[in-house]
Amino acid sequence: MNYDYIIVGAGSAGCILAERLSASGRHSVLLLEAGGSDDSFWFKIPIGFAKLYYNDKHNWMYCSEPEPELAGRQIYAPRGKVQGGSGSINAMIYVRGAQRDFDDWAAAGNPGWSYQDVLPYFRKLESHPLGDTMWHGANGPVRITPMKDGAHPICQTFIEGCTQLGYERNDDFNGARLEGVGIYDVNTRDGQRASSSFAYLHRAGHRPNLKIELHAHTSRVLFDGDAVTGKRRATGVEIIQQGTKRTFHANREVIVAAGAVDSPKLLQLSGVGPRALLAKHGIEVIHELPAVGQNLQDHLCVSFYYRSRMKTLNDAFSSWTTKLKFGLQYLLKRTGPFSMSVNQSGGFFRTSVNEAHPNMQVYFNPLSYRIPKSNRAQLTPEPYSGFLVCFNPCRPTSRGSIEIASANVDDAPKIRGNYLSTQKDRDEAVAGSRLVRKLMTARALQEVTVEEVTPAGDVTDDASMLKFFREQSGSIYHLCGTCAMGPDPRTAVVDARLRVHGIEALRVVDASIFPNITSGNTNAPTMMVAEKGAQMIIEDAEHDIAARSLAANVQRAAAISS
């Protein structure tokens, strides 16, 4: 079957692409998703992310290779295997990142990607209660909800403590500045998750020019042309759907939006990537592109646990009575703890006066919980009134990779985060720990804290702080950069219009194109990339149509004159 556009991956980016490219009705669009539908109640209710954390039906549940600098541990990397992708199973924190993050994208040779360039696309995608302002949009598909009114009261204690230490309050991390302490925004509408699937795709699913294929695992991109002339063009894809191999053809473009892990995996399986890696697995080299799968970046975090004198969400979630109470509150009013993320307050801090920009993101959670070691267990609250303080460095400098493990699409790729491989990242692991300890000296926090439960006395100096980070840190699931955007095919995969270097009619549009990781949560910038990418694709199509029309008119004029 033939479609104008084939989109691989119905994640945070793919859902937006499908809606935007099909909106005019002029183009036929096929959207392929390896997972199933997001029609379950657990995808709608915000607290449902805890239910989906270990769920192999809706989650790829990837793990890294053993990490040398993290005590040889394998780091868990959940990825959405469902319509909506990781945006259907994440904690919904909506942070764009620092303005300088995107200015750095532009400075790396990517015109059109500075903060001022991308701000209109952030505004376009969101519907913000502040309305149509310099910083926000009022009519976008994704509803943004400030958690200020519903956050647990102990979050205000945290903010008060930070201000006592001289840190400024920030009521809008997506406004004029990133730095400061406050309550996070989430992408929810009326107490329900506002993923790009719910916000974009659900309203477009009825369109006759949009076809959505679920449980469709794309095994490779198809090409024509040959290696002799060097002209290769993406012409379609091959998928495996419930054991059956199917082929679809693209009249205009194939757009890969499978995410930071699976986009480079698909390119490599299709013969686009490092020559040595492809040869190792017996894959024909369609186009050598050494950067495919390189430049992997992620935010690495660690949590400090505290026992509280003040009741927290641990008390609410440990009793069936309170669970029932809040469950009814949610069902009747779409409010209460079930309507929000547990990552409620926090902010962006500088760990030293020598830092020119905020270099540390902090989460203050009014719920103290442990991530289970077994993937058969659920996230469970600690059996006491507790809270946790978690931090991650904003712009780590370690770089990892994604590589196929074999030529079989069903085999998970090898993820190497290469975490803490630079001295800067090791220094910031210590600096972040010191920041948490400093924040906890604030009078307001001292008054509500019984004790530090973990790491407590085991961590007292720089060496023990680094050891604690090595042994207890984990991914905060912001993987990106593995099909990086840039002008040089030796170090980048796509150009500034997200076209794969050296191949016609093939683009990558998702978090894998980030040249450098953003300073905060990555779902919002991924959706921005999709909005901007969709506009580029539409513009290029219109330019192509206009050019063909002009050429036809010239030919007709020449025929008449002759």
Domain ranges of the chain: 1-101+191-296+400-405+478-561, 148-183+300-393+420-472
Q: Give residue-wise pLDDT tens across range 360-376.
A: 999 999 999 887 766 65
The pLDDT, as a whole number, for residue 482 is 98
Mean pLDDT calculated for residue range 401-430: 98
**Fold for domain 148-183+300-393+420-472?**
Cholesterol Oxidase; domain 2 (3.30.410)
- Asked if the model's pLDDT at residue 329 lies above 70, the reply is yes
**Marked catalytic residue, from 58, 299, 478, 501:** 478
Q: What share of the chain is helix, strand, coil (3-state, %, to 5)?
A: 35, 25, 40
- Asked if the model's pLDDT at residue 440 lies above 90, the reply is yes
The pLDDT, as a whole number, for residue 225 is 83
Q: Give residue-wise pLDDT tens across range 147-186.
A: 998 999 999 999 999 999 999 999 999 999 999 999 999 9
Intrachain domains 1-101+191-296+400-405+478-561 and 148-183+300-393+420-472 with the same fold: no
Structure tokens at 490: 């030796």
Residue list, annotated binding site for FAD: 82
Mean pLDDT calculated for residue range 258-276: 98
The pLDDT, as a whole number, for residue 552 is 66
- Asked if the model's pLDDT at residue 554 lies above 90, the reply is no
Class of domain 1-101+191-296+400-405+478-561: alpha beta
Q: Greater confidence, 37 or 557? A: 37
The pLDDT, as a whole number, for residue 227 is 56
The pLDDT, as a whole number, for residue 326 is 84
The pLDDT, as a whole number, for residue 376 is 58
The pLDDT, as a whole number, for residue 441 is 98
| Chain mean pLDDT for the chain | 94
Strands of 190-297 (E only): list them. Answer: 192-193, 210-213, 216-226, 231-241, 244-256, 272-273, 287-288, 294-296
**Residue 206 is among the residues annotated as catalytic for this protein:** no
Strands of 292-437 (E only): list them. Answer: 294-296, 300-308, 345-349, 360-365, 369-370, 380-381, 386-393, 400-403, 414-416
Report residue 318's pLDDT band, with 50, 70 and 90 as the boundaries. confident
Q: How far apart are the first and last CA of the chain?
A: 41
Structure tokens at 345: 């307050």
Q: Give residue-wise pLDDT tens across range 442-485.
A: 999 999 999 999 999 999 999 999 999 999 999 999 999 999 99
- Asked if the model's pLDDT at residue 526 lies above 60, the reply is yes
Report residue 230's pLDDT band, with 50, 70 and 90 as the boundaries. low
The pLDDT, as a whole number, for residue 37 is 96
CB 425 within 8 A of CB 347: no
- Asked if the model's pLDDT at residue 377 lies above 60, the reply is no
The pLDDT, as a whole number, for residue 317 is 82
The pLDDT, as a whole number, for residue 330 is 85
Q: Kind and range of the H or E element at 282?
A: none
